[in-house]
Chain A
């Protein structure tokens, strides 16, 4: 990795460390004297907005660089749209976080967050189809059926306690919808992860390592959010911020790496 590329990753690392530190030691001087809740929320909003916008622009750049008949082109476009919708969701939250230092839930941003999922899921499915059509090994039908069954079991385990929590209907629908959509995302994600393992040590492998680990952190962030929200453990929200910042940065990093390959 070149020096110019290390700097953004160092910034991501520091940002993640800042929010993990906030969760672990919220009473330390750093989080009471230097930063406070309002500043940390505002800073998280800025990080998320920046990474989402960069990710959307770079993914669109990949789409733009690929030929019209390239089967991966629509996948990059869908990924770009998914990131753009997530950016729009974050943009709806930003005024509350920047001005008032609070995050409304449910809020107008949730419309865009939920809308982003079909695009992200479709992007991964189109990638999968493109690789399958290109003759890359994707596993047998039985293996895929086993995977879907596994995700179903995980879904029951994860969603049952969240669904059992009392609260306003819209809150409950959304706290279940996010992890449920993530579990749908998990099916193509696991199949792509299998493929990405075969790409390790290569240029394409770097792209997929970044993209897929970003999606894994996205799922983890949503599931943590649903748990913390439904169990009333909002003091753990800094972990959620750290997870989302890392997820968006990794996805943006993957799109950037792919764009560099296409430009080189």
Chain B
């Protein structure tokens, strides 16, 4: 799965919680910090690191419980996209 596809999957799920703009800019910023770039493929480990970072940010808006369920949704969306390839 490419970085772009990963970002799109994250934005689709997190958009209703924190808005498309924030979801995209936060995900892209975390990707950059984690060294996940452009059209390169993203490893499962990198996806987990990204989800961990995003979960920390979401905690502030949603609380731990809801944040964890949103991150589970993202994980499922990414898995579904990968399966559909």
Contacts and interface: CB of A to CB of B under 8 A. Distances in A.
A209 B30 CA distance: 25
B19 A136 contact: no
A66 B64 CA distance: 7
B16 interface: yes
Question: Interface of chain B, helix or strand or loop or mixed?
Answer: helix
A33 interface: no
A75 to B, nearest CB: 9
Nearest to A199: B19
Contact of B18 (A70, A202, A262, A264): A202
A134 B63 contact: no
Nearest to B56: A134
A203 B26 contact: no
Given A198-B22, A200-B19, A201-B19, A65 B63 contact: yes
B64 A135 contact: no
Q: Which of B21, B25, B61, B63 has the most CB of A within 10 A?
A: B61
Contact of A264 (B33, B59, B66): B66
Contacts of B25: 137, 198
Nearest to B28: A137
Interface of A: 65-67, 70-72, 130-131, 134-137, 195, 197-205, 207, 261-262, 264
